[in-house]
Amino acid sequence: MANGRILVVDDERFFQELFRDVLTGAGHAVRTSSSAEEALEVLAAERVDLLLTDMVMPGLDGLGLIREARRRDPELEVVAVTGREDVKLAVESMKAGCSDFLTKPLEPGELLRVAERVLARVRLRREHSQLLTENLEFVKAQALYRQGLQILATLDGERLVDLALSVLARTTDAQGAALWVADEKGQLALRGYRGLVDRAALPVRVDPRDPAFADALRGGAPFLAPDGWGGEAFLVPLVADDEPLGLALLSDRARGRFGRDEHAAALVVADFTAIAVKNARRFQAVERVGLRDRETGAYNLSYFVDYAGKEFYKARRYGRAFSLVVLSVDNVEQLRKEAGREPFRRLMRDLVAAVGRAVRDADILAKVSESEYYVLLPETDYFGALMFVRRATEEVRREASVRTMEERVPVLLSMGAASFPKDGEDFDELLHWARDRVQDQRGSLLRRLHLGDLEPGAFWELTDVLLSGSARLPDSSASARLQPDAELFAAAQREAAREIARDPRARGLLYVGLRTALAASPVRAALPPGDPAARAGDPSARVYLLGPRGTDAEAAPHPLVTEVYVDGDQRFAGHEFLLFLSERSAYALLAGPDGRTFHTSDMPLVDALVSKLQTAYDLQPI
């Protein structure tokens, strides 16, 4: 056991006394401090082998203490203590240089094991330093130790395997090396190899309970490899806290044969690697329950699900609305192949950042997979979700890396929204409808005819494309071109008015563009009557009539109707249109010169027409 001087820092007296009693009972000299500031004074005045600090304290917290203490003494060993809720601080403490961390409440035995393991490294380091001046051989040990620190500082599993193989081969002069690491079932799985290794001769898995390996693994010392695993070869167990975490193979020394020195060096590296494997696993476990995805910065799915559960509770209890948006990048594989690995990762990071600029502080953007993301929009109905989809789409299209990529291949982004309680009262229902609307967007004429590439205010350009016969409409489309019908436009206005009358307080927008005077519009007479004072500030259905003022007497005002005069705009002389968008349905009817007529119930296309009309005439958005 490596006895040492330990400084315990915790703002709670109970834990100070608990840690002191346990560690003093094991023969360690223990000092306690109740704050980070007091601890820094102790560190300035005394030599300390191990700093054991709580993470959440008033004033300077544990993370600040670790950084300052390590700045003063980079070799100071630190163990962090965190509550179960302090996941992010635990991750940050390891990045700041902690050797290990413990979670409250903790077992005395676990505290002693961690302290003894860390203090053993302290003693080893100090012995090396003392003997370095007396024996040149310790220079090699110091170099080995520094490489071990590199291994300890590596928390990424794949990088750790590569680094450990490199250090093992270099310190033993081996021309071949392989590494097995314990999987979740306790089996040792082959994770990497390098140099002169016959991959076909190596087992994919090693059972640590196999009699051929069990005793040697428990012993922890290097032992000869079975015949056929290489030329001259030996194996080194990776053991931490009596737990077999891996097995390293070293073969074919470049100069001479493997001897005691090579076995000893390999064992030191194996010990560092075993500790690093354990730390990497803890880090990964913490990271999985952390808040954000490392690649994109989006929240992880577990946090999203927890947050959504709370939002369902609030919405049900307080009668509130919220929306779920599913965002899908439909051609991820094509983008990765075209861009290459690193540019693709930057593209996805920039794309998520662009969507993030459209969210509010209360909104949650989470990564589900490489191609799919969820956005939770509290206090947002379906129309509000449509506005978010518009903003997010615009932000993505403005992103420089997206524009650069689209010079080579289109970035196919589809979004669908669903709202509580309109579309469902549990997560599965909302997800079903949101994904169904993603499918609608994929099949929309907007995507099929590449109409989304038009400028934001290009309402008339989009109208002309839809009315002309140059763009063929797919047979499966929810759109059609019609024969001239003098009564169709008036009938559509009356039907839209009746739809509003069925639920006048449901969110909805109706835009009617007229060739004639606005007072003559059939929609006005078909709308339900209403008291203007009663409807003041009511965010429900709205009707906008666009067209010339005319010379006829003005019609009586209606609380749902807003008139927009466009005298002098010659495009209204040859066109009429009706755009209806509600929480339940969407419909557009366009009539052009010579009786050309187009109608559609394609929701994304109707929303695009509404959006471009609003932009073209500076109308209030949804």
The per-residue pLDDT for range 295-342, each reduced to its tens digit, is 888 888 888 888 898 888 878 866 778 999 999 999 999 998 988 888
Gyration radius from the chain CA atoms:
35
Residue 229 predicted with pLDDT over 90: no
Mean pLDDT over residues 247-251, rounded?
Answer: 91
- Residue 1: pLDDT band (50, 70, 90) is very low
Q: Helices marked H in 155-259 — which ranges?
A: 157-172, 214-219
Q: Helices marked H in 399-487 — which ranges?
A: 400-406, 427-443, 445-448, 459-467
Peptide bond preceding 378: is omega within 30 degrees of 0, i.e. cis?
Answer: no
- Residue 536: pLDDT band (50, 70, 90) is very low
Q: How far apart are CA 142 and CA 122, in angstroms?
A: 13
Peptide bond preceding 421: is omega within 30 degrees of 0, i.e. cis?
Answer: yes
Q: How far apart are CA 397 and CA 493, in angstroms?
A: 35
Digit-coded pLDDT (tens) for 141-173: 778 888 888 888 888 777 888 899 999 999 899
Q: Say which residue, 584 or 239, is predicted with more confidence.
A: 239
- The pLDDT of residue 127 is 78
Mean pLDDT over residues 267-280, rounded?
Answer: 90
497's enclosing H/E stretch is helix 488-502
Mean pLDDT over residues 385-395, rounded?
Answer: 91
- Give me the percent of the chain exceeding a pLDDT of 70: 92
**Which domains, from first to last, does the chain contain?**
5-129 (3.40.50.2300), 135-287 (3.30.450.40), 301-443 (3.30.70.270), 459-616 (3.30.870)
- CA separation (Å) from 186 to 180, 234, 339, 455? 11, 22, 39, 58
- The pLDDT of residue 227 is 81
- The pLDDT of residue 534 is 38
Q: How many CA atoms lie within 13 Å of 541's alpha carbon, on the beta-carbon side?
A: 27
Amino acid 265 reads A
Report the chain's mean pLDDT, rounded to a whole number. 85
Digit-coded pLDDT (tens) for 91-112: 787 888 888 888 888 888 888 9
- Residue 535: pLDDT band (50, 70, 90) is very low
- Residue 548: pLDDT band (50, 70, 90) is confident
Pick from 85-89, 237-241, 440-444, 452-456: least confident? 85-89
- The pLDDT of residue 448 is 83
Here the contacts of 163-170 (C-beta below 8 Å, separation 24 or greater) are 164/248, 164/269, 164/273, 164/276, 165/192, 165/193, 165/194, 165/248, 166/194, 167/269, 168/236, 168/248, 168/250, 168/266, 168/269, 168/270, 168/273, 169/194, 169/195, 169/250
312's enclosing H/E stretch is helix 301-318
Q: How many CB atoms lie within 10 A of CB 12?
A: 13
500's enclosing H/E stretch is helix 488-502
- The pLDDT of residue 530 is 61
Digit-coded pLDDT (tens) for 25-36: 888 999 999 999
